[in-house]
Structure 1
């Protein structure tokens, strides 16, 4: 397979990985779905509209149809074949006395000056969010022409990566340490670009602020930011004001799940590990409500099946203790998390918190911006899962950002940014 030539400067030794689960596990999943009881009809679940924060949650009819499709028609083997159509690896990374085994998908370029890029997912996402983007790049460039080394890790606790230590706390700073060690160990210690949304946006910010190897960062979500004296609410456009209203609505009516994750991760993790139907309801709602447009059912079930087969749900909740627990922090309002390196931002009007450009400028050195759904002739705004929902747009933004920003990085680094 092409795209598998690591840099000669790599010090890590990744092992090829093939996604495959035994037939018995798929049989057990279908049996568990078969014997999972669907709750009775209620006024709330018969009238529920998951696209609306005021809509009571998940509609019973959708859940019943999704359950039947998952049990009788869905084929995980097709998804495994798609995963295995790209180079997959696992690699051991030591961090503070604990050994992580990190899974990642990669397209390694043979181009001498290819720019290293790490794409970071969030919850309830996974590396699957970026498969379409990787396939677009693979179809557009040969290994000899690819302008980037693209690394897509499964964050610790997610998918095929093992979970964080069982005997101590772990947080987003820890994720960033592991990701940086991965990128440096793959031979990209002189410089790489980080991109992230959701949890990945926090990890990308930490990488930019705290790790020398990260030279630039692109985000498609920035939260926890409000008006400033020089950028008051009144200065916003009508479209931006609608985005702020959406963020406020989500904060008031849409983030109960996050409070549960942050304050009762043990309980919700055990509950959702007990039944694939419960997992489908809890996570399926998020894909329907947070995206624009909503993904096809097959893509939602891809994510749910990966979560179920790898026991991801209970292992992936730890970041919420940091976001929504007793000592919650979002990394943005504090001056210590200001990004001094070049930063890019893609604004999507159907994101959970579409933060105006002017407010994002207060969190970092914003040198590149694209906005969608701002009423200025752009294509309609997307939602929370940008790479999954609109992979062509995502790839275009990444290429546009790197194309403009990497020469600036190389100039500021005195040539050190050139690989």
Structure 2
């Protein structure tokens, strides 16, 4: 007992020392680059904001149907469920629905329910959805909020949460003005034409976008790549970004993280670990390795040879649907791997899943979206933004089935001004699409805290 107490005291002193020694390491900087075709033109570039409408044609739909009709099926292994990837038997049902029941024209009308725009920044067209509240109470101003998606999602992930933020039911809630851009190379944002476009470059462009829209200060929210991009936005513009809300935080190695991994199982209270933290952080080594292998193969492919793997997906709508929708199964709940249908329709409708696929298909953006992994991972783990803390007010919504779990202690090592860390009741990786009400409530809670602080 005395030995354990002594160890705990020593560890406590080390932890306190590490926390006290956290120092500012400067601010993140970004350079203006030209991502368009060829060299930067000498004459001024058109920086106007243009309305954009998503459209389709009979030829586009007929081409899709022809490719679906010509797909070559392959039988699934017996009792394989989703453990070998997207189950071929269930894929036949999805493809049949896509071919015979899915109404793309109807979904296009749904996509156009909110106003879309494009504007050219650093040589490429940036697409975004901009939703202003319809019934803003007199004497109040909407709070600008940018929400950034990840892979293999799109701006469409936010269609369920937008009305909860722009038209909240409670008079005590903050009313937001929501901007949802497409990451360059995703959906209807033009892909960069030059190498090197990473998360910091995307953050730089999105900060420029918000300034072009007239916002001197604003909030940002993101998951997956969106969490990294919005984090970089806060690192670049700490006086402009009023607050940062994320629902994904990739663990970044450090002394405190190492100490917590070595001793956290035996001294959980010292590191603030909850039962859920212990369950997620300390599985047996075998399980940890196997789970990582099961869900990270796509990342290695996309971080090394995206153009090779992506070419087949760019030609085959069925292959594209299987590749994308499989993530909406296992990243929503890893136990869905053991279900014949991957649990897809437990959380999402086929219309919503296929609409997201169609955004990639009609824009031919799967290859350029996969390149984003190559651009970010090829620069190694010592990029500038990984060493610079975030000082703006921040919040983390920790969903229990998120692919990678980060305890509060780990999150605080990066986000020094963490105002809230909320263990969510349920939900996985695609939080805005899967649990829009929970995410909206957490965004409201965080922004109310920051706004009160600002008023004081």
Q: TM-score, normalised by structure 1?
A: 0.84
In 2: Cα distance, 1:21 partner to 1:368 partner: 43
Higher-Rg structure is 2
Structure-1 residue corresponding to 2:250 = 223
Structure-2 residue corresponding to 1:417 = none
Structure-2 residue corresponding to 1:242 = 279
**Residue 103 of structure 1: which of 118, 127, 151 is its match?**
127
Structure-2 residue corresponding to 1:37 = 72
The answer to whether the 8 Å contact 1:157/1:315 transfers is yes
In 2: Cα distance, 1:247 partner to 1:14 partner: 48
In 1: Cα distance, 2:129 partner to 2:406 partner: 30
For the aligned residues, what is the CA RMSD?
Answer: 2.4
Worse-matched range after superposition: 236-245 or 281-290: 236-245
Q: CA deviation at 1:56?
A: 2.1
Q: Tell me if 1:286 matches 2:327.
A: yes
The answer to whether the 8 Å contact 2:168/2:175 transfers is no
**CA distance 1:348–1:248, shift in 2 (3 Å):** farther
In 2: Cα distance, 1:124 partner to 1:247 partner: 24
The answer to whether the 8 Å contact 2:191/2:368 transfers is yes
Q: Secondary structure at the match of 1:132?
A: coil
Structure-2 residue corresponding to 1:394 = 439
Pairing 1:126-137 to 2, within 5 Å after superposition: 126-137=154-165
In 2: Cα distance, 1:310 partner to 1:22 partner: 13
Q: Secondary structure at the match of 1:36?
A: coil
Q: Tell me if 1:301 matches 2:301.
A: no
Structure-1 residue corresponding to 2:399 = 348
The answer to whether the 8 Å contact 2:132/2:166 transfers is no
Structure-2 residue corresponding to 1:58 = 86
The answer to whether the 8 Å contact 2:125/2:189 transfers is yes
In 1: Cα distance, 2:382 partner to 2:375 partner: 6
Report the count of equivalent residues: 377
**CA distance 1:238–1:141, shift in 2 (3 Å):** closer
Structure-1 residue corresponding to 2:53 = 18
Q: CA deviation at 1:407?
A: 3.0
Pairing 1:17-416 to 2, within 5 Å after superposition: 17-39=52-74, 41-43=75-77, 46-50=78-82, 55-93=83-121, 95=122, 99-109=123-133, 113-140=141-168, 147-165=175-193, 167-189=194-216, 191-212=217-238, 213-225=240-252, 227-229=257-259, 232-234=263-265, 235=268, 236-244=273-281, 245=283, 250-292=291-333, 294-325=347-378, 327-328=380-381, 334-336=386-388, 338-364=389-415, 365-372=417-424, 379=425, 381-409=426-454
Q: TM-score, normalised by structure 2?
A: 0.77
What stretches of structure 2 of length at least 5 have no aligned partner? 1-45, 334-345
In 2: Cα distance, 1:284 partner to 1:265 partner: 18
Structure-2 residue corresponding to 1:415 = none
Structure-2 residue corresponding to 1:4 = none
Q: Deviations over 1:132-185 (max 9, x none)?
A: 11133344379xx972221101111111111112x3321111101110000011
**CA distance 1:101–1:48, shift in 2 (3 Å):** same
